[in-house]
Amino acid sequence: MLALTDVGCGYGAVPVLDGVSLAVTAGELVAVVGPNGAGKTTLARVIGGLLPARRGQVRVDGRDPATTPRRELARTLAYLPQRYELAFPFTALEIVLMGRYAHRAGPGLERAPDLAAAEAAMTRCDVAPLADRRFDTLSGGERRRVLVAQALCQGARLLLLDEPTAGLDPAHAIAVMAALAAERDRGAAAVVVTHDLDLAARAADRVVVLERGRVVADAPPAEAFAAPAVARAFGCALCVGELPGGGRYLVAR
């Protein structure tokens, strides 16, 4: 579903990613973590086809995302950017329905399947009651959940979400990750870029740790966070434990 081979890129003369290789198959939920400035968002932009790789190869469902027509790419890949600044007062439902853009050409209005997909996505992200509220009047956490609903509404087989749980309270952050796990269980692949290491340890099948544009760990959570290189990257030791009733947690020390 997603394959990166020795990818390097940057902004101007500043290199950001250096020899990143990564593979994500259908039915996997992968968390990308790393300290500030490690290149996580740049990696997401490269996968999303918004920043061309200077070297190496990026493939989304076998095609280069930088050269695939955007409408075709959006049917395969739903990308939620880290920043989302809206210029005009659309409602939450209108924002979610924008996720259906790629499913139909032309200037027409949404049809029943589009509305059904939006309603289902909003219910899963617990934002259905906010449908008629203006997006700019929502709290930061509510906005983020609406945007996750937009990505789910897109119906793509690869979800790439940059900080989907930023600003969310714990219950909603867990609910969003549960929604992504449900997508994984349905056969989709999900890549989540996050600063929330506990959530990554709790929900991801695999954790990819970036430091200064390089992958320093790519393994299941307990193994990845136990790697000495990861402790060096974050500047502290990270321990993943098992909860009595099942599930994982992470503490830093």
Partner 1 sequence: MIASFLGARARLTPARLSVVLLACAAGCVLITLLSPLVGAGLPGQGLEVMSPAAIWGDDLDATIYWQVRLPRALAALLCGAALAGAGCAFQAVLRNPLAEPFTLGVSSGASLAAVLAIRLGAGTYLGGAGVGAAAVAGAVGAVVLVWRLARVGDALPPATLILAGVTVSMFCSAASLAVQYTSSFADVSRMLRWMMGGLEWTTYASVLRAAPAIALGALVLLASGRALNAMAAGPEAAASVGVDAGRTQTLAFAAASLLVGASIAVAGPVGFVGLIVPHALRALVGPDHRVLVPASMLCGAALVVACDTLARMLGQWPVGIITALGGGPFFLLLLVRGKRHADLWRS
Of the residues 23, 54, 55, 89, which one makes contact with partner 1 according to CB under 8 A: 89
132 binds partner 1 (CB under 8 A): yes
Question: Can you tell me which of 5, 10, 63, 90 binds partner 1, judged by CB under 8 A?
Answer: 90
Site for partner 1 contains 213 (CB under 8 A):
no
Contact between 50 and partner 1 by CB under 8 A: the answer reads yes
- Binding segment for partner 1 (CB under 8 A), chosen from 84-92, 165-173, 193-201, 242-250, is 84-92
Nearer to partner 1, 119 or 205 (CB): 119
Query: 137 is written with which tokens?
Result: 């009047």
* Piece in contact with partner 1 (CB under 8 A), picked from 65-73, 138-146, 166-174, 211-219: 65-73
CA dist 34 and 19 (Å) reads 16
How far is 135 from 117, CA to CA, in rounded Å? 19
Q: What is the DSSP pairing of strand 206-211 with strand 55-60? A: unpaired
Could you give the dihedral angle defined by the CA atoms of residues 109, 115, 121 and 124, in that order, rounded to the nearest 10 degrees?
150
Residues contacting partner 1: total by CB under 8 A: 38
Residues 164-193 that bind partner 1 (CB under 8 A): none
Q: What DSSP string runs through 184-236?
A: HHTT-EEEEE-S-HHHHHHH-SEEEEEETTEEEEEE-HHHHHH-HHHHHHHTS
Residue 79 near residue 98, CB atoms below 8 Å: no
Binding site for partner 1 (CB under 8 A): 45, 48-50, 69-71, 73-75, 78-81, 83-91, 93-95, 98-99, 101-102, 106-107, 109, 132, 134, 136, 150, 154
